């Protein structure tokens, strides 16, 4: 490697490291409002990803291990796709970010990029919390059949890609519970500490439940599904009532899964917070 | 683009010297695109004639299911240049949040959507050709690009497309709040509708027409 190239690389690494230090200092002051804003923005991502998946019918061969018949691999096309895509993204450093959780964490290749110094906000207990298996089961067994039309249009690769986006968006939102819990803990330590020391899930669940906030979230995601899922035509503001994804399904996803599973993550995190 | 706009520019994503092994991979975005396309190719994505890889040389050879006219028309190199040099700087904020892998993944999605839309011109023009081949044939035989371009240009339709995408950017990019339909949020969009509309006018529509013309020129081979 020439001297010039080496110096350039070092310069770039050094300047990005300075920026990261600044980012870390700012981010240690993460507030509940910042966390809530992020959750709100993540709703949009989830709604968009569901809309994009709904462009395709169910496409069952995507999920059928006997369809794929890939030598040396015994899963479905979807599993192959997710494992290999996660491997690419791991090499690009995706899972260095504590907000990202792979669905197939075993055997991921190491990152090829310099380790980015993400702000250290969470207790180290966070690293062992990964409920993606539950999310995967929920998505394929409960959610998917409820919002896509039956049928097969042959686009299995595209279908798998859209599924992965939905999974990643939902996973990120649910695991964000760790950050939510950390912020709440810092704000109101006195309230949480006794329950944590007593490992009292019931009290923690009550402390973490704000029914009016949850109602607002469910209403808002339904509204987003209506807004983002509408047909847009010029001139004509008719066609109300036709949506790419049923708003009730999105609202139900949040009520039955996203909100409860996020709370699970929050409780799991808090129970270990004083270790 | 709305989802790409969640991230700032994240310049290291595009910097070939950011890697631990400079020179081997190009930039992070190239690594992600090449390797992701390889995965998607294994899953059969590029057997669909509507899908075009950005790095076809890195892929195993694909089964030939189309006539050669369709196969040979691939303007992805141009789309790549236009996306990174003309569009991206217009709609992302400056800055760096470290999420280079996700940034690259979002870039790939934008590229794929644009590529599919632009190459859809082949299908559009095949239909037009079948409906009115008497009009197209002389110009094709004469290799007369100008006439073909004129035949393919419908200003009223193009104007409507630009208006509709701006409308979609407004609707899909808005902040949605519960209860409040006030005007506080009007005018705040994740993606500037004017940028989208102009991008369609300056690049998407002309590149689609390029694809259409190229396709037609091969159509009678």
Distance to chain B for A214, nearest Cα, Å:
12
pLDDT of residue A242: 84
- Residue of B6, B98, B172 with shortest CB distance to A41: B6
Assign A15 a pLDDT band (cuts: 50, 70, 90): very low
Minimal Cα–Cα distance from A28 to chain B, Å? 14
Among A49, A115, A207, A200, which residue's Cα sits nearest to residue B105? A49
Distance (Å, whole) CA B151 – CA B18: 47
Q: For residue range A77-131, what is the model confidence (pLDDT) as tens digits? A: 999 999 999 999 999 999 999 999 999 999 899 998 888 888 889 999 899 999 9
With bands split at pLDDT 50, 70 and 90, how would you rate the model's confidence at A153? very high
Q: What is the pLDDT of residues B2-44, one digit of tens each?
A: 888 888 888 888 988 777 655 566 888 888 899 899 888 888 8
Alpha-carbon gap, residue B164 to A233, rounded angstroms: 7
Residue A73 — very low, low, confident or very high, per pLDDT cuts 50/70/90? confident
Instruction: Give buried/exposed letters for A139-172 (b at 16+ CB in 10 A, else e).
Output: beeebbeebbeeeeeebbbbbbbbbbbbbbbbbb
> Is the model more confident about A242 or about A214?
A214
Of B2, B6, B18, the CB nearest to A12: B18
Chain B neighbors of A219, CB-CB under 8 A: 178
How close, in Å, is residue A107 to chain B by CA atoms?
17
* Average pLDDT of chain A to the nearest whole number: 87
CA separation, residue B133 to residues B73, B125, B127, B138, B220 (Å): 20, 10, 10, 9, 11
The C-alpha R_g of chain B, in whole angstroms, comes to 20
pLDDT band for A76, please (50, 70, 90 cuts): very high
Residue B6 structural domain: 2-218
Q: Would the pLDDT of A16 be above 50?
A: no
Residues B97-128 pLDDT 10s: 999 999 999 999 999 999 999 999 998 898 88
Q: What pLDDT score does A29 carry?
A: 76
Query: Could you count the other beta carbons within 10 Å of the beta carbon of residue A67?
Result: 13
**Chain-chain contact of B96 with A92 (C-beta, under 8 angstroms):** no
Q: What tens digit of pLDDT does each residue of B155-172 get?
A: 999 999 999 999 999 988
Cα gap B102→B80, rounded to integer Å? 18
CB pair distance less than 8 Å for A157 and B43: yes
Q: Identify the CATH number of the domain in which residue B111 sits.
A: 1.10.590.10
Reply yes or no on whether the pLDDT at B139 is more than 90: yes
- pLDDT in the model for residue A10: 40
Dump pLDDT digits (tens) for B58-76.
887 766 555 566 677 889 9
A132-141, Cβ contacts within 8 angstroms, sequence gap of 24 or more? A132/A101, A132/A102, A132/A103, A132/A167, A132/A171, A134/A261, A135/A167, A135/A170, A135/A171, A135/A174, A135/A261, A136/A103, A136/A167, A138/A257, A138/A261, A139/A163, A139/A166, A139/A167, A139/A170, A140/A63
Whole-angstrom CA distances from B180 to A228, A260, B168, B184 are 17, 26, 21, 9
B-facing residues of A in 179-198 (CB < 8 A) are: none
Asked if pLDDT for residue A13 goes beyond 50, the answer is no
| Amino acid A254: pLDDT | 95
3-state DSSP assignment of residue A221: helix
Question: Is any Cβ of chain B less than 8 angstroms from the Cβ of A7?
Answer: no
Q: What is the pLDDT of residue B17?
A: 79
Query: Out of A81, A113, A161, whose CB is closest to B28?
Result: A113
Percentage with pLDDT > 70 across chain A: 88
- Does pLDDT of A4 surpass 50? no
Q: How many domains does chain B have?
A: 1
Q: Which residues of A108-132 are buried (b: 16+ CB within 10 A; e: fewer)?
A: beebbbbebebbebbbebbeebbbb
Distance CA A162, CA A143 (A): 14
Q: Which residue has the higher pLDDT, B57 or B215?
A: B215
Average pLDDT over every residue of B125-135: 89
Q: Which of A213, A211, A212, A239 is CA-nearest to residue A226?
A: A239
Asked whether the predicted pLDDT for residue A2 surpasses 60, the reply is no
Q: What is the pLDDT of residue A48?
A: 94
At residue A215, what are phi and psi to the nearest 5 degrees?
A: -60, -45
Q: Residue A246 forms beta bridges with which residues?
A: none
pLDDT at A21: 38
The closest of B106, B103, B126 to B50, measured between CA atoms, is: B126
Structure tokens at B108: 């790939």
Question: Which of B12, B31, B44 minimises the CB distance to A91?
Answer: B31
In chain A, what are the domains?
30-269 (1.10.590.10)
Which of A88, A121, A216, A250 has the highest number of chain B CBs within 10 A, making it the mutation to test binding with B?
A88
Which is more confidently placed, A11 or B69?
B69
Mutate: best of A13, A44, A172, A243, partner B, most B CBs <10 A:
A44
Give the residue from A247, A206, A205, A197 showing the smallest Cα distance to A225: A247
Which residues make Cβ contacts (< 8 Å) with residue A262, sequence separation at least 6? A173, A174, A176, A177, A180
Quick one: pLDDT at residue B69?
64
Concatenate the DSSP letters of all residues of B117-183 into one string.
HHHTHHHHHHHHHHHSHHHHHHHHHTT-HHHHHHHH--HHHHHHHHHHHHHHHHHHTB---SS--ST
Q: Are B3 and B107 in contact (CB under 8 A)?
A: no
Q: Is the pTM of this model over 0.80?
A: yes
């Amino acid at each position: 490697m020439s001297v010039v190239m080496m110096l350039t690389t070092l310069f770039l690494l050094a300047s990005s490291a300075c920026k990261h230090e600044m980012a870390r200092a700012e981010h240690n002051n993460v507030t509940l409002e910042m966390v809530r804003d992020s959750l709100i923005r993540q709703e949009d991502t989830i709604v968009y990803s569901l809309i994009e998946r709904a462009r395709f019918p169910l496409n069952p061969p995507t999920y059928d291990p006997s369809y794929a018949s890939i030598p040396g691999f015994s899963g479905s096309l979807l599993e192959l796709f997710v494992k290999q895509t996660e491997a690419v993204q791991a090499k690009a450093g995706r899972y260095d970010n504590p907000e990202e959780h792979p669905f197939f964490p075993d055997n991921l290749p190491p990152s090829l990029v310099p380790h980015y110094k993400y702000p250290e906000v969470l207790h180290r207990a966070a690293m062992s919390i990964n409920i993606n298996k539950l999310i995967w089961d929920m998505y394929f067994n409960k959610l998917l059949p409820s919002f896509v039309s039956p049928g097969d249009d042959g686009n299995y690769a595209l279908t798998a890609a859209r599924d992965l986006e939905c999974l990643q968006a939902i996973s990120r939102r649910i695991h964000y519970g760790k950050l939510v819990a950390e912020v709440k803990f810092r704000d109101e330590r006195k309230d949480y500490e006794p329950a944590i020391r007593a490992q009292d899930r019931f009290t923690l669940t009550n402390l973490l439940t704000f029914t009016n906030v949850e109602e607002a979230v469910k209403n808002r995601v339904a509204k987003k599904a209506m807004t983002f899922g509408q047909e847009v035509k010029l001139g004509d503001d008719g066609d109300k009532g036709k949506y790419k994804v049923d708003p009730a399904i999105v609202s139900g996803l949040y009520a039955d899964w996203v909100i409860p599973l996020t709370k699970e993550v929050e409780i799991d995190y808090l129970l270990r917070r004083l270790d | 683009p709305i989802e790409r706009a969640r991230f700032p520019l994240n310049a290291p994503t595009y910097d070939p010297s950011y890697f631990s092994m400079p020179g081997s991979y190009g930039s992070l975005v190239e690594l992600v695109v090449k390797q992701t396309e390889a995965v998607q190719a294994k899953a059969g994505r590029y057997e669909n004639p509507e899908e075009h890889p950005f790095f076809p040389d890195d892929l195993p050879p694909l089964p030939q299911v189309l006539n050669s006219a369709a196969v040979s028309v691939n303007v992805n190199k141009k789309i790549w240049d236009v996306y990174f040099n003309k569009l991206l700087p217009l709609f992302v904020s400056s800055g760096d949040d470290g999420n280079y892998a996700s940034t690259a993944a979002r870039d790939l999605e934008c590229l794929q959507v644009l590529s599919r839309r632009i190459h859809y011109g082949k299908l559009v023009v095949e239909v037009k050709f079948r409906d009115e081949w008497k009009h197209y044939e002389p110009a094709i035989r004469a290799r007369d690009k100008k006439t073909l371009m004129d035949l393919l240009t419908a200003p009223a339709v193009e104007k409507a497309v630009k208006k509709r995408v701006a409308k979609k950017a407004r609707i899909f990019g808005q902040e949605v709040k519960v209860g409040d339909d006030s005007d506080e949020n009007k005018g705040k969009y994740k993606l500037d509708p004017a940028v989208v509309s102009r991008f369609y006018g300056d690049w998407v529509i002309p590149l689609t027409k390029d694809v259409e013309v190229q396709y037609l020129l091969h159509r009678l081979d």
